[in-house]
Structure 1
Amino acid sequence: MIDTIIFDFGDIFINLDKQATISGLQKLGLTEWTPELDRLNLLYETGDVSQDEFLAGFQKELPNASVEDILAAWNSILADFPLYRLEFLQMLSKKYRLFLLSNTDAIHIQTFENKSGISFYSDFYQCFEKVYFSFEIGMRKPNAEVFQYVINKHELSPKRTLFVDDKKENTDAAAALGLHVWNLQVGQEDVVDLFDKKLL
C-alpha cells in the first residue's frame, strides 16, 4: 500500500523546452555543448559554484553575449505549468505524503517563481511535506545518497513509497533502493494519469 509519493519537477509538473535553451545559446554563438559546460551545469545544480561563476563560465564560451542574453537563453527551457496539474496535486495531497525532489538550479527556480507568481507557487509548494532542490541540498539524482537522505530524514518506507520521474536513470536508481517507480514518458503520459497506471 503506497502512502508516500516523491515527484520530480521538470516535465512532470512544469513543461520543459530543452531545445529552446540549446537554440538560444547557439544564437549567441555556442557551437557545441562542451564537457566543461556540462561539468559547470552539474556543479551549479549542486550549489558548488556561485551564480557569478556559472555565468562567467558561459561568458568564456560566448564572449559577445551579455549576462542578460545568457540568462534569457538559459531560462527559455521553462515552459508552462498547466493549472490542472496543480489541482490534481492538491487533491493528492489530501491522501498521501508528498515530496518534491528536483535536480535544478537557483536561476531556474527564481525564474519559475517570478513567472508563476506568489499565489501559484505557494499553492504548489504547500502540497508537499518538503521540497528538495539539488542546489540547496548539494546532492542530485541519480546518486543513491539523495534518495537515502529523503528516506532517512522522513522515516519513509521504500516499499510504501512511489517515485515519479521522467529520466530512466533516476527511476532505476530509486528502484534499486526498493522504491516503486514510474518512469513517465514525456509527451505520451501526464502526471494526472497516475491512477490509470494502477501504481497506487
Structure 2
Amino acid sequence: MTTLRVDATASAPGLLLRPWNDGDVTSVFEAYQDPDLRRWTVTPVDGHEDAVRWVQTQHRGRVTGERLGFAVLEFLPGTGENRLLGNVVLKGARPGRPSAEVGYWTAAHARGQGVAPRALEALTSWAFATFAADGLERLELLHQVDNPASCRVAEKSRYHFDRVLPAQPPYPADGHLHLRQAPPLP
C-alpha cells in the first residue's frame, strides 16, 4: 500500500497521502456538505450511503488500477489521529499509455493553506517515478473555466495551460486542460 508524506513548512502542516479506507466514510460525507465542493465535483454525496459508495469506488479503482485515489490528511499532534484535508487521484495510468489524468479536491476548512498544490505535487512526483518507465509521458489536469481556484492550483503545481475544451457531459461548462510533462528518465 502506497503512502506519501509531505513535510511541514513554517506556514503549513505536514501531509500524509494514503489510500482511502472504510474509516473515511464519515469524513467524506462531512467534506461533501460544503456547497463549493459539491459544485465542482461530479459524484454527489448526499448521505451516508453515498459516502460508502464513494469510498468503495476508490477501493475498486485501486484494485483495477484505473483510479489511484489518496486521502490527504493532516496529523493532529497529541491526538494520534489524522484530519481529512482533501483528495488527490491519478486516473488511467497503465503500461504503454503516454498520459494519465490527475484530480483533487480540498475540504472547506483546509482551503487557502496550500494543501492542494502540495498534495498534487506529491502525487505528480510519485506518478512519474512509478509509471514513467512504463511509458507515462504527461499528466493532464482538467477543470471548468469558471473555477479560478483550480487554475491557480494547476499553475502552482507546474501544470501549464494547454487549451480550452468544449463542455461535454458530465461537465456543464467549457474546461481548461493543463499539462505537465514527465522529467527526463535518468
TM-score norm. by structure 1 comes to: 0.29
Higher RCO (C-alpha under 8 Å, 6+ residues apart): 1
Higher helix share: 1
Higher strand share: 2
TM-score norm. by structure 2 comes to: 0.30
